[in-house]
Structure 1
Amino acid sequence: MSDKTGHLILLTGASGFVAAHILESLLRHGYDVRGTVRSEATADKVRKTHSHLLEGTQSRLTFAIVPDVASPGAFNDAVKDVDGVIHTASPFAVEVEDNERDLLQPAIKGTTEIIQAVHTYAPQVKRIVITSSFASILDTSLGDRPGYTYTEADWNPISYDEAKTADGPTAYCASKNFAERAAWDFVEEKNPNFTLATICPPMVYGPLQDDASIAHLNTSSADIYRLMNGTSKEPGHTGFPAFADVRDVAEAHVKAYEHPNSSRYLTTGGNFQYRDVCEIIKRVLPAYASKVPDPDATERVETFGVDNGHASRELGIGFRGLEECIGDAVRSLVALEERG
């Protein structure tokens, strides 16, 4: 796709932390984008944040209002006339009343609605990229699993019945697993016009966009902010000890869109523990050192490994290390603090 002029991509959930970086990457690569958002006010916010990339050509970024991604027919109009789809929109919740009603089914339907809409109303689409998660790869029942290395060949083995009564974090991981499986099952059963790729990042950190609010941080950014604002007294156990830089995850989506293969991609910069994050914050922000937990207050443990070789080779991505990822993340958090 050397000439991307007029090539329109539907980006769902365009205001999200990862999606905002995907949007920036798409615009920089020359694509036109139709983003889905829940309201016109959110569309205005996203448009303003990315205005520096539009250079007076506001028509390169348009929006479709989709209040509920899991509702029947949610994307039927949004997919019309687009050339490709990058689907990031997904319900996120950990504490719910009913796992199946509030978590599992919304996650599955949020994915199946977009691919069914493309299959029915956008036969011209040849490629869909879906944001999945390392949660669909990880076997949560085995914990830290030292000595094992996860790859794209692994699948979270939890059953649907187990997930219905599981604790919140386990059920959330299961929801990502079932949503991704539903996408692959659809492709196998329907043999649609499009090919599919899924991006499976673990914890996603990195710099925030300028429109972010320190009072309303996304989950992963709040995970870092608690280690620099004095609210955490020790690093704590690292439940998901693998990370990815949001800029690499964004680039992986665009590269996967341009790649012909149907594949899963484990996009990760490697392993980490919260004590490593604390050490980096102390180095990068010495003025915050007194608020940062003592790294040694939490013991280092042996954990599983993660292999990014497939994504690195096939998509041509050199993944950022933890120092750059966390350093840029905390500097952006300081900038948000200073803006109030």
Structure 2
Amino acid sequence: MKKVGIIGGSGFIGSHITQRFLENGFEVKVSATDISKQEKYEHLMELNHSDHLYISELNVENKAQLKEFVKDCDLVIHGGTPFQLDFKDAQTELFDPTIKGTENFLEVINETPSVDKVVLIASVGAWNTNFPLPAGVKMSTDTFSENDTPFMSEESHPYALAKFSANQTVNAYIKTHPSLDFEIVSISPVMVMGKSLSNREDSISTGLQFLFKNKMAPNPFIQMFYDTDIELAIVDVKDVAEGVYKAATIPGLHGKNYLLSSETYPVSDVTLMLNHQEPKNQPKIIYQNKMARRELGLLFQSVKKTLNDY
């Protein structure tokens, strides 16, 4: 029985990834930043085959804990930098955990002979820090794919800038280490929505769905979505979990970074669909998913179905 370590495996996306690996006969080790807070991960104990599930305490900035966590794993999924919009100090809350955490992670994995593959859960921010706004001079109707040059603006949200920098760190590491004994694959989902496997109230993704459903704006950033009726590229959380599983188990993908996206709708239509009403506009495919379809065999859920599930 192969063992997979999933950093961030109890979060909104991570829980679906944990479920996917348990269903496919893996031993699964999930990290917890504070193992005493059982409410963060107790929902995982209700999953099928949870007798093959282990919870281990881990701070991703602690290299000793990281070494202990991955030492007996065949595969490692790193989704330990959560989607975070509100912060007090960007450096300590976003940049350090995301960038330094990625640097530590790659160093530790390189010293762990059991690991054959790592999958890093990046973000559409690794390709376009302006998301959900268009990249650079592109229009909102212009498509974006893995063939486009990644776009970064210093004025973007610090979360996106941190994810962009972390992805650049990964690319530089691959370039300077041409003879690694393990594969590195990244997946970059657009806005992730769908049904949560837990009742946790600290998920930004499920919180955003609540805000959009009720057309609430707790800050100017969210108000901007409504004021401009911004176009949102959305992907189902289950499709992200499937993408991570495929990226982890299909060989020969080293160095790839897959955009995971379904359809794009204006936020006004997102509000309608979250309230089980029909959208007024036809969906678009702005962020391309052809590479993920072709190489990972993914079939993306319609956004209407995703929002109905929520």
Q: Is this a same-fold pair by TM over 0.5?
A: yes
Amino acid at match of 2:187: I
Cα distance between partner residues in 1 of 2:21 and 2:228: 36
1:37 aligns with 2:32: yes
SS of match in other structure, 1:276: helix
The alignment's C-alpha RMSD in Å is: 2.9
- Greater shift, 259-268 or 236-245, is seen at 236-245
Q: What stretches of structure 1 of length at least 5 have no aligned partner?
A: 1-5, 286-294, 330-340
Contact 1:127–1:194 (CA under 8 A) maintained in structure 2? yes
Alignment of 1:47-196 (within 5 A): 47-54=42-49, 58=51, 60-66=52-58, 68-120=59-111, 122-138=112-128, 140=130, 142=136, 145-158=139-152, 163=154, 166=155, 169=157, 171-190=158-177, 191-196=179-184
Q: Which residue of 1 aligns with 2:204?
A: 219
SS of match in other structure, 1:266: strand
Cα distance between partner residues in 2 of 1:99 and 1:230: 27
1:307 aligns with 2:294: no
SS of match in other structure, 2:80: coil
Give me the identity figure in percent: 23
Number of residue pairs matched? 297
Amino acid at match of 2:305: E
Contact 1:91–1:103 (CA under 8 A) maintained in structure 2? no
Encode CA deviations 1:199-242: one digit per residue, 9 max, x unaligned.
10010000011x324xx241121111123346469944455621
Cα distance between partner residues in 1 of 2:65 and 2:266: 39
In structure 2, relative to structure 1, the CA distance for the partners of 1:246 and 1:92 (3 Å cut) is closer
Amino acid at match of 1:61: L
Cα distance between partner residues in 2 of 1:304 and 1:313: 16
Alignment of 1:320-339 (within 5 A): 320-329=301-310
Amino acid at match of 1:323: K
Contact 1:147–1:304 (CA under 8 A) maintained in structure 2? no
Question: How far does residue 29 in structure 1 lie from its aligned partner after superposition?
Answer: 1.4
Encode CA deviations 1:144-188: one digit per residue, 9 max, x unaligned.
723421112335333xxx64xx45x2x221111111121222122
TM norm structure 1: 0.78
Contact 1:15–1:42 (CA under 8 A) maintained in structure 2? no
Q: What stretches of structure 2 of length at least 5 have no aligned partner?
A: 218-222
In structure 2, relative to structure 1, the CA distance for the partners of 1:246 and 1:304 (3 Å cut) is closer
Contact 2:71–2:114 (CA under 8 A) maintained in structure 1? no
SS of match in other structure, 1:227: helix
Q: Which residue of 1 aligns with 2:272?
A: 279
Cα distance between partner residues in 2 of 1:146 and 1:48: 39
Cα distance between partner residues in 1 of 2:141 and 2:233: 14
Question: How far does residue 10 in structure 1 lie from its aligned partner after superposition?
Answer: 0.5
Q: Which residue of 2 aligns with 1:317?
A: 298
Alignment of 1:219-258 (within 5 A): 219-229=204-214, 231=216, 235-237=226-228, 241-258=232-249
Cα distance between partner residues in 1 of 2:202 and 2:39: 19
In structure 2, relative to structure 1, the CA distance for the partners of 1:227 and 1:174 (3 Å cut) is closer
Q: Which has the larger radius of gyration?
A: 1
In structure 2, relative to structure 1, the CA distance for the partners of 1:258 and 1:138 (3 Å cut) is same
